Amino acid sequence: MIHLDGSFISSLMIHRVGNKSLDEGFKLTDKPIRTDPELMAVLRPYFTSMLSGDELFSFTNEVNLDQNEVYHLARKIFAEPSSLAEHSKAITAHLYNQSTHPRIKSGELYVAYFEEVVIDDEVTSAIGIFKSESRETFLQVDFSSELAGISHFEGIPARRPDKACMIFNVASNEGFRVAIFDHLNRTSEAGFWRDDFLNLKPVGTDFYQTNYMLDVTKQFVTKRYVEEHEPSKVDQIELLNRSVDYFKNNETFDRGEFCTAVFDDKDVRTSFLKFEEQQQSEGKMRADETFSISLPAVKKQSRSIRSIIKLDRNFHIYVHGDKDLIQQGVDENGRKYYKIYYETES
In contact, 189 and 104? CB cutoff 8 Å: yes
The pLDDT of 18-29, averaged and rounded, is 95
User: What span, in angstroms and rounded, lies between the C-alpha atoms of 257 and 130?
Assistant: 42
Residue 323 pLDDT > 80: no
Complete DSSP assignment for 205-219: -HHHHHHHHHHHHHH
For the chain, the structural domain boundaries read: 2-203, 207-303
Cα-based angle 338, 343, 346 (whole degrees, multiple of 5): 90
> Hey, CA dihedral for 238, 243, 246, 249, is it positive or negative?
negative
- Helices 206-219 and 295-302 cross at an angle (nearest 10°) of 30
pLDDT confidence bin for 153, thresholds 50/70/90: confident
Residue 282 pLDDT > 80: no
Pick from 144, 284, 272: nearest CA to 208: 284
Residue 344 pLDDT > 90: no
User: What span, in angstroms and rounded, lies between the C-alpha atoms of 296 and 205?
Assistant: 12
- φ, ψ for residue 90 (rounded to 5)? -70, -35
Q: What is the pLDDT of residues 165-196, one digit of tens each?
A: 999 999 999 999 999 988 765 555 557 899 99
Residue 326 pLDDT > 80: no
pLDDT, residue 336, reads: 81
- φ, ψ for residue 101 (rounded to 5)? -70, 135
Residue 280 pLDDT > 80: no
In contact, 13 and 33? CB cutoff 8 Å: yes
- Helices 295-302 and 233-249 cross at an angle (nearest 10°) of 160
Neighbouring CB atoms inside 10 A of 297's CB total 23
In contact, 163 and 193? CB cutoff 8 Å: yes
The pLDDT of 97-123, averaged and rounded, is 93
Reported in sequence order, the residue ranges of the chain that DSSP labels E, i.e. its strands, are 2-3, 8-17, 26-27, 57-59, 107-119, 122-132, 136-142, 149-155, 163-168, 177-182, 200-202, 252-254, 290-292, 308-311, 315-318, 326-330, 336-340
Query: What pTM value is reported for the model?
Result: 0.77
CB within 8 Å of 293: residues ≥ 6 apart = 206, 210, 247, 250, 251, 252, 253
pLDDT confidence bin for 204, thresholds 50/70/90: confident
pLDDT, residue 286, reads: 80
State the chain's maximal CA–CA distance in angstroms: 83
Query: Could you tell me whether strands 200-202 and 57-59 are parallel, antiparallel, or unpaired per DSSP bridges?
Result: antiparallel
User: What span, in angstroms and rounded, lies between the C-alpha atoms of 237 and 179?
Assistant: 33
> Hey, CA dihedral for 209, 211, 213, 216, is it positive or negative?
negative
pLDDT, residue 265, reads: 92
Pick from 26, 189, 15, 16: nearest CA to 104: 189
